[in-house]
């Protein structure tokens, strides 16, 4: 387990799952491919909802777009049909096409009738721009990197400056991949896990719990660094992708409601959902699947009664906030293209606290 010189904030009142990560939920696994090579600081992160073919056994899902300044693909069909039919992939903005291409190739490998006798497949790829650290124009992520990340899916996975999070920035500091989980309030026995790709915010906005007024000091610290001077003005250019998993039996309408609550966790870290930020939450359930083929039986699982959702909503808000803090606390300083740098928050806090 990672040691923190400055303790990771522990937010909320609800208990965490065993690993305090999204893989606490059902059979969820995460895999990553990291590219860290001079001006290339980027990667791919993949989340699987279960261990079977997602195309044959579709996963109930829905999303909320808090701010649609983004280039993610696949959400239109998720919203129409209420399911996802591939794993969730995260990468940088200019690599969405390569990763979507990789998802199509993988689907054809798994099911040679796709796009021929059978219908096609809906790639589901989310992105944030890592242009500050990564030479994004190099289009360095290739379809095979998706397959490598997919092959690496596991219950255990790294957080911070890894996978799609390698080149991300958050509140002017180093952002990246973070995760957490919370058990729902009440007697439900269900949980919500969150995985975020954090890449949003300005230094003056961060609201670290227990460190009142820290935003001004972080801003001043960064402004005094020659490498950072003048970088943290101008409109927001970041993004955050939030993926929620739950083992509660929710239909897609309820999952959309759950995904909306991620914004509460996001806002509490200091975000006001900046103009240039693609802020999206996707939620899926591991409680049942929908068969692709019409001659297979539909699930008869009763859904959760609407009045029991509040406990899950609290868990979603807490898990999201915790995952963001985790992404920051676990991300170390990264130097990228053109001597650009983002400092890890621990290094910064150690200097100013």
Note if 239 is an active site residue. yes
Q: Is 104 a residue that touches a copy of itself (CB under 8 A)?
A: yes
Q: Is 261 a residue that touches a copy of itself (CB under 8 A)?
A: yes
* Interacting positions 202-241 with a copy of itself (CB under 8 A): 204-205, 207, 210, 212, 234-237
Please report, to the nearest 10 degrees, the dihedral formed by the alpha carbons of residues 36, 107, 157, 127 taken in order: 60
Comparing CB distances to a copy of itself, the nearer of 159 and 181 is 181
Burial 34-61 (b: 16+ CB within 10 A, else e): bbbeebbbbbbbbbbbbeeebbebbbbb
Which of 56, 308, 333, 341 contacts a copy of itself by CB under 8 A? 308
* DSSP per residue, 243-276: EEEE-S---HHHHHHHHHTHHHHHHHTT----TT
Note if 5 is an active site residue. no
Options 15-23, 73-81, 162-170, 173-181: segment touching a copy of itself (CB under 8 A): 73-81
* Interacting positions 10-49 with a copy of itself (CB under 8 A): 13
Burial 323-346 (b: 16+ CB within 10 A, else e): bbbbbbbbbeebebbeebbbbbbb
Q: 311: part of which helix (H) or strand (E)?
A: helix 310-330
Options 20-28, 136-144, 153-161, 221-229: segment touching a copy of itself (CB under 8 A): 136-144
Which of 164, 260, 345, 349 contacts a copy of itself by CB under 8 A? 260
Active site residue: 16, 279, 285, 327, which one? 279
C-alpha 296/C-alpha 58 separation (Å) is 12
143 Cβ contact list (under 8 Å, min separation 6):
98, 99, 101, 102, 105
Which of 150, 317, 323, 345 contacts a copy of itself by CB under 8 A? 317
Which of 304, 319, 324, 328 contacts a copy of itself by CB under 8 A? 304
User: How near is the Cβ of 343 to a copy of itself at its closest, in Å?
Assistant: 21
* Interacting positions 141-200 with a copy of itself (CB under 8 A): none
Catalytic residue IDs: 239, 277, 279
């Amino acid at each position: 387990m990672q040691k923190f010189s400055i303790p990771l904030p522990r937010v909320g009142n609800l208990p965490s799952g065993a690993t305090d990560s999204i893989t606490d939920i059902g059979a969820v696994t995460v895999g990553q491919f990291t590219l860290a090579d001079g001006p290339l600081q980027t990667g791919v992160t993949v989340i699987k909802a279960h261990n079977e073919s997602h195309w044959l056994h579709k996963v109930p899902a829905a999303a909320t777009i808090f701010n649609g300044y983004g280039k993610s693909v696949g959400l239109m069909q998720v919203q129409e049909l209420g399911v996802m039919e591939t794993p969730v992939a995260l990468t940088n903005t200019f690599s969405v096409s390569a990763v979507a291409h990789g998802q199509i190739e993988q689907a054809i490998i798994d099911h040679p009738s796709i796009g021929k006798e059978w219908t096609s497949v809906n790639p589901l790829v989310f992105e944030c721009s890592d242009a500050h650290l990564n030479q994004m124009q190099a289009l360095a992520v290739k379809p095979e990197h998706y397959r490598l990340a997919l092959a690496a899916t596991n219950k255990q996975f790294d957080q911070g400056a890894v996978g799609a999070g390698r080149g991300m920035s958050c509140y002017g500091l180093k952002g990246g991949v973070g995760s957490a989980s919370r058990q729902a309030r009440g007697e439900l026995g269900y949980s919500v896990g969150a995985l975020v790709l954090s890449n949003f915010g300005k230094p003056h906005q961060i609201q670290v719990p227990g460190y009142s007024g820290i935003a001004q000091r972080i801003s001043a610290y960064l402004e005094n660094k020659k490498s950072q001077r003048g970088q943290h003005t101008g409109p927001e250019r970041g993004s955050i992708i939030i993926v929620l998993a739950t083992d509660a039996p929710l239909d897609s309408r309820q999952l959309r409601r759950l995904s909306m609550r991620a914004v509460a966790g996001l806002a509490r870290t200091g975000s006001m959902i900046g103009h240039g930020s693609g802020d999206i939450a996707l939620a899926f359930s591991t409680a049942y699947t929908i068969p692709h083929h019409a001659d297979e039986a539909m699930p008869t699982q009763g859904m959760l009664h609407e009045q029991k959702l509040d406990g899950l909503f609290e868990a979603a808000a807490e898990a999201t906030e915790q995952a963001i803090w985790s992404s920051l606390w676990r991300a170390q300083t990264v130097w990228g293209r053109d001597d650009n740098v983002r400092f890890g928050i621990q290094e910064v806090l150690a200097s100013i606290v």
